[in-house]
Amino acid sequence: MRNRLVWLAVLGIAMYASGGAAIQCDGPDDQYVVETVYGKVSGTEVTEKVIRFANIPFAKAPVGELRFRAPQPPDRWEGVLDGTELGPVAVQSRGKPYAERQSEDCLRLTLWTPGLDDKPRPVMVNIHGGGFTQGGATGPNVDGTQFAQRGDVVLVNIQYRLGALGWLYLDEFGGEAYRDAKNAGLLDQVLALRWVQENIARFGGDPGNVTIFGCSAGSASVTALMVMPRARGLFHKAIAESGTLAIGRSADSARRFTEKFVDVTGAKTVADLQALDADEILEATAATARELDVKGGPVFGPVLDGDLLPTDPQGTIADGGAAEIPLLHGTTRDECHLWLLCASSEWDDPEGNLERRLREGEGVSEEELAVMLAAVARARPEAEKADRYLHAMTWEAFRYPQTILSEAQSRHADTWMYLLTWSSPAIPKAGPYHGLDVSFVFCVDSFFDERLDSDDAERAKTLARQMQDAWVSFARDGDPNHDGLPEWPKWEAATRATMLFQEEPRVVADPGKELRLTWQAIHRARQAE
């Protein structure tokens, strides 16, 4: 299987039969306490209608002998755990404000609820993106307040191990005890979903109506969980924004990267790896990328091992491996533009660098690339030469894999597809870039207010509310249609109905048809080789 490296860019008080109660506490702020199956946790009102519980452990800290191991449920704690402040993110390269507070003790979640009562609200679990090497559940762009308040849902943000700490292939190096290391980050997500099943009713949510969603690496995680046996029954619907498990590494590729990583560290045993501090792990990861001359994409990520994950996830879905899971998914129109345009401004030969990334990073042959660029030139005649490479990257890494996902899942479950075509007036050259849908889906007003003039910001916020309402409607009953949108038909191969999210949303049939047919012919030819 080709190694698909995706360009992951530049993010009421009630007692229940199962036990537990919410208790309002006296204090300078309105605070609440809920008893989970592991102990009591406090939360605080962030608005008059929303209570937030933050930094709740759903697993033991994966440190010491537990580093690189499958996550373990947390021990019970005494007293009341302080859940009023956001916690640290997983270990990752620093530079972004949210990443300054980080820790290996990162297997925590934050949730927002409109009420601690027995109303069975839909539960939405967000899995953050960041190329499996960056990101977290605490940034302002993934604040769940408006989701909970506007949608009357319980919104949960979860974290998972990143980089080498979450995806190191240690089958041979560590033996049977470390067979799960290669997908430990996914197992973190599974354990977080088990926590939701055990506890979410105590926070006003319905464990029988859980929707997982995410963007980029979070979206790839969603598609992984759809075909992961250990995740079966832990969620009921899926939303995948700009990413599929087509980026998964083969076991051979993961083994090669891990061998180089171990060689860089000088480790002789797993105990040696466990003795490294977090900064040494990050330095070794960077050195591994340099020595293997990685052309874009993460060094580590999910491994298609045939055990925790099938070796052919798209084929598994096509065969009905996720038949019980309704799917809402899509991409932005110009996924790669902002990130790679920023990078290309530093290159003497941007077209040459972009061709190198497509050829070596994405595995596109010289003949395939010529066909791709010719098709882009016909479909987007206004595009400059470098832009044609960027459009080709978008189709190879994002739009065509999402199309294949629709073709596979729509045979077995209700499927809806969208395309975000809104382009920021502040950076029109970037087009609708990768990750932009996060800001619209979470509908964080400050994102638009800080970047646009007042009229443009209000129009963008109107679209954001339309998108968020569609996500909430889908989470509630499996159908994204609502009064604020034109009728949105299910995706079927015969019609390929796709919602264009733009200033005036509308449904079109098979957007980018010429490019879709070009990529279809290329990929079918590859499969026939």
- The residues assigned a catalytic role are 216, 335, 434
CA distance 237 to 213: 9
Identify the H or E element spanning 341: helix 337-344
CA distance 112 to 150: 12
> From the centroid of its chain, how far is CA 141?
14
Rg for the chain (alpha carbons), in Å?
22
Q: Which stretches of 286-408 are assigned E, i.e. beta strand?
A: 303-304, 327-332
> Which amino acid is located at 391 in the chain?
H
Best CA proximity match to 393, nearest among 423, 354, 432, 438: 354
Quote the tokens at residue 423: 């382009």
> Which amino acid is located at 285 in the chain?
T
Q: How many residues does the chain have?
A: 529
Residue 457 has, within 13 A of its CA and on its CB side, a CA count of: 11
Residue 296 has, within 13 A of its CA and on its CB side, a CA count of: 26
User: What is the secondary structure of 80-143 as a DSSP string?
Assistant: EE--SS---B-S----SGGGGSB-S---EEEEEES-SSS--EEEEEEE--STTTS--S-SGGG-
> From the centroid of its chain, how far is CA 89?
15
Burial class (CB in 10 A: 0-12, 13-18, 19+), 284: buried
Q: Are 408 and 417 in contact (CB under 8 A)?
A: no
